Amino acid sequence: MKIILSPQRRDDQLTLARIGAALVINGKTYDFSGAEEGRPIPRKTVDCEFLVSDVELIDGELQLTLILPHGHPAPKATRFPEPVYAHEDGPIELPPYEGDSGSTLLEDFLKVQSSKVRKEPGVTAGEVSLPEPIRLSELSEDAYFNENPAILRYFPEMAACVSHVIALCSSMEIELIRTYIALNGASALQTYRTVFRSFGQNHEKKRELAYAILKLSNEDSVHSVLKECNKIFNSVFAFRNSFAHGIWGNCPELPEVILLATPSDLLEADAASTELWSNQAQQEFANRTMAMILGESGSTLSEQDAAFLRDIIFKNASDPARKAAFEIAFENPRGIRSKDTEVWTREDFAHLVASVDVAHQIVRARLSETRQSLLGLHRASQLAPSP
């Protein structure tokens, strides 16, 4: 007999025992000997509030889903229970009703944060000191990222840091372009436009090509400056791209931080949630139920329907990764588990902004000085007498 457990916070408790094809639930015996292969006992015909699925006979083994009541706090084994297999008659051991849930996510976060080696912001010998946000996966395998694009609205000082970094990166990029044009003359503008159209938003490729064109000239001193500024710029531009194109969100257990995930995390979660539904007959049902699970329709699944759907999915989920994706959908609607989700604190933002400020000052000053020098050389060449 295979019993799938669906945890639920309740004041009552559950006791089980097996007697052949019968299951004793809190002292009351339920005979499931009538279940046959392909002909389950419908849940609605069994007067048991803990049963939330049909009772099926699969490969000679009875299978059903029961609510597992638990208190608060409850250990992880109770909140994320494994299926229980009762191969012999007698009492069935269940996860504990309540107990130590272990350290909280916030406690783990504070512990990891306090152990981090703090670096001073700034730029030293061309190397930019950058923050290293904690990754959510470092704290707990059970932690979830909740997509929430509006989260920055509730952290205005952090939102200002994001805008500041994006703005200064744009300023540094235009300074590099202006220097490129100053070095190569008016024709360079058309060249850069061609580069821009060719590579679109691939800024790294654009800069690589522009720098390659610069090397065709004889201004070695300018190349040195551009190489230094390009290195500084590239190190902070990665953060600009993450801020501009990443997925912002939060975790209720970490109220004073915001989370940042890559778009691929969201797409992979969506793909895992739909991959199991392979035939056309199931597709409409899948779309409707997954929309409810993810909260897109504003509806929610009842406990019984959720357990029923969980049962269907788990029977078809041979891939552990896909099974885990569905577990996320059931246990935490709109939740995404990602090893790459970053936890951004006020300290991380302050560190980044301070370093980007210094980087911007260095890049702008060096390139402005270089352009002035080039302008002087151009004027001198124009004033020089013809041979």
For 34-89, give the secondary structure using H, E and C.
Answer: CCEECECECHHHCCCCCECCCEEEECCEEEEEEEEEECCCCCHHHHCCCCEECCCC
Count of CB atoms situated within 10 Å of the CB of 120 = 9
Same domain, 84 and 111: no
What is the number of alpha carbons within 13 Å of residue 138 lying toward its C-beta? 17
Q: Kindly state whether residues 82 and 117 are assigned to the same domain.
A: no
* CA atoms of 313 and 327, how far apart (whole Å): 10
Same domain as 150, residue 40: no
Do 198 and 301 lie in one domain? The reply is no
217 shares its domain with 361? yes
pTM attached to this predicted model: 0.57
Report if residue 256 sits inside a domain. no
Within-domain flag for 257: no
Residue 12 lies in a domain: yes
Residue 258 falls inside a structural domain: no
Asked if 79 and 115 sit in the same domain, the reply is: no
- Going by pLDDT thresholds of 50, 70 and 90, the confidence category of residue 345 is very high
Say if residue 86 is in the same domain as residue 219. Answer: no
Question: In this predicted structure, what is the pLDDT of residue 169?
Answer: 92
How far is it, in rounded angstroms, from Cα 49 to Cα 25?
Answer: 10
Residue 171 has pLDDT above 50, yes or no: yes
Q: Write down which residue in 64, 92, 120 finishes a domain.
A: 92
Report yes or no on 246 lying in a domain: yes
Counting the structural domains of the chain, the total is 3
Q: Look at residues 92, 121, 151 and tell me which one is the last residue of a structural domain.
A: 92
Span 263-296, pLDDT tens digits: 776 666 655 555 444 444 444 555 555 555 555 4
- Of residues 79 and 21, more confidence is placed in 21
pLDDT band at 243 (very low <50, low <70, confident <90, very high): very high
β-sheet bridge partners, residue 64 = 3
Percent of all residues in the chain with a pLDDT value above 90, rounded to a whole number:
33
Q: Which of 62, 92, 122 is a domain's end point?
A: 92
> Per the domain annotation, does 287 fall within a domain?
yes
Is the domain of 157 the same as that of 284? no
Amino acid 312: pLDDT: 54
- Domain identity same for 158 and 210: yes
109: number of Cβ within 10 Å: 24
Give the Å distances, CA to CA, from 258 to 81, 106, 255, 345, 347.
Answer: 29, 13, 8, 7, 12
pLDDT score at 339: 64
Are both 160 and 227 inside the same structural domain? yes
Q: Provide the domain limits for residue 135.
A: 105-251+342-383
The identity of residue 187, as a single letter, is: S
Residues 63, 151 within the same domain? no
Residues 355 and 345: their CA atoms lie apart, in Å, by 16
Spatial distance between the Cα atoms of 303 and 292, rounded to a whole number of angstroms:
13
Rounded CA-CA distance 141/37 in Å is 37
- High-pLDDT (> 70) share of the chain, %: 66
Average pLDDT of the residues of the chain = 77
**Is 268 found in the same domain as 237?**
no
